[in-house]
Amino acid sequence: VAAGFLMSGGGGNDVQWCFSQVKGAIDDDVAEADIISTVEFNHSGELLATGDKGGRVVIFQQEIENKSQQQCRSEYNVYSTFQSHEPEFDYLKSLEIEEKINKIRWLPQKNAAQFLLSTNDKTIKLWKISERDKRPEGYNLKEEDGRYRDAATITTLQVPVFRPMDLMVEASPRRVFANGHTYHINSISVNSDNETYLSADDLRINMWHLEITDRSFNIVDIKPANMEELTEVITAAEFHPHQCNTFVYSSSKGTIRLCDMRASALCDKHSKLFEEPEDPSNRSFFSEIISSISDVKFSHNGRYMMTRDYLSVKIWDLNMENRPVETYQVHEYLRSKLCSLYENDCIFDKFECCWNGNDSVVMTGSYNNFFRMLDRSQRRDVTLEASRESCKPRQVLKPRRVCAGGKRKKDEISVDSLDFNKKILHTAWHPQENIIAVATTNNLYIFQEKVN
């Protein structure tokens, strides 16, 4: 096994990744509605939710083969599927509002039911996912089929009882948070107080209470008085995992602002500004486009944050604003191809990134259905591929290498043969185990650590 492929994902023990499952249709002609637009594990990792362009949410549940053995192979099977959003039309602006799910965020579990927030461009919904395995029988006033009895015919009373039935998983919308955004929502993030959450669009960030749907508080507004003076937009926003007063938002200019809600009600003045001065030697026509940040994620321990721009992943220490503590090139070989990537609009693709459970490895996607694992402790990285060719159960993923120029080695792939229509924008990592979910266009691949 190539040295770069062994990642210390589990705290020092080298991890080999192997294929576990693939979800979704295998045909080559992909329906637009089936394209996956977000992937998210819940806090225990037992449930995995995906949203798609057709407005559907599909939840998978982890089923462990052998509960007694800790390190045992587990599978994710469909638990619940529901239509979260429908297409709408804004008659005032003559605009169609897509049903596409932009983000899903789970709420920490408080009782037997699970709750998640899902959003399209305009409307956020709080969904309750609950199980029913008993049904009441023996009503006095109605028949078993639901028809009401004539009260005059009732001569005896009986006590209704619960009888076992096949398990039903119900998804019901508990709250609809509408009319809070003029522009398209790109982020939602649940606060660590578990009572509030934020939603961000291109120019504003709002804070909501989970129980109150008819009003939200505007906490950031970067809209200029004259829209012709607009120079940047908000691209992502997230609450700190432990400090309920702190959140960050990133911009299309490559800056990240950290705000403290204790300072003022409107957080237009940031507490910290994270920005790296540009390297003059890399300056080009595309510099501004590729410096736009597509995702920002706090580490689980709350000490660091990770940002993803078009070509790189940067890790920032919250105590140091002037430069990142770590920078990883995701696909540096594309720097010479920016012109053609601009022409085919790929340069505007928004790649997401995620941390593993103990913040030692980060993962992000690339083109040709490649995804990158970046090991922070050992400063090693590896490129892996989500493809149908490696779909045999427990098949170990082989590292991929891209040849940027010069003589191509036997196992290398030439930059010119990469497929830019196959891209991995959305990935998720199980919060406690080495299980990852990787979304290709309309398929969800699940890989896990090889267990000997």
What amino acid occupies position 192? Answer: S
Distance of alpha carbon 118 from alpha carbon 57, whole angstroms: 8
**Confidence check: pLDDT of 179 > 50:** yes
**Percent of the chain topping pLDDT 70:** 95
Whether pLDDT at 68 is above 70: no
Copy the structure tokens of residue 133: 């395995």
Of 89, 90, 94, 65, give the one whose Cα is nearest residue 77: 65
pLDDT tops 90 at residue 53: yes
pLDDT at 188 over 50: yes
pLDDT at 390 (0 to 100): 76
101-149, pLDDT tens digit by residue? 999 999 999 999 999 999 999 999 999 999 988 888 888 888 878 788 8
Q: What is the pLDDT of residues 367-393, one digit of tens each?
A: 999 999 999 988 889 999 998 887 788
| Rg of the chain taking only CA atoms, in angstroms | 24
SS3 234: strand
- Could you please report the per-residue DSSP string of 257-274? EEEETTT-SSTTS-SEEE
pTM equals 0.90
- List residues bridging with 105 in a β-sheet: 117
CB 369 within 8 A of CB 354: no
Which residue is it, tokens 């961000």? Answer: 200
What is d(CA 363, CA 49) in angstroms, rounded to the nearest whole number? 18
CA separation, residue 393 to residues 19, 65, 122 (Å): 6, 14, 41
What is the chain's length? 452
- All structural domains of the chain with their residue ranges: 36-120+123-132+165-178
**Euclidean distance between CA atoms 402 and 416, whole angstroms:** 10
Alpha helices, H only, 286-352: 287-291, 338-343
Secondary structure class of 318 (helix, strand, coil): coil
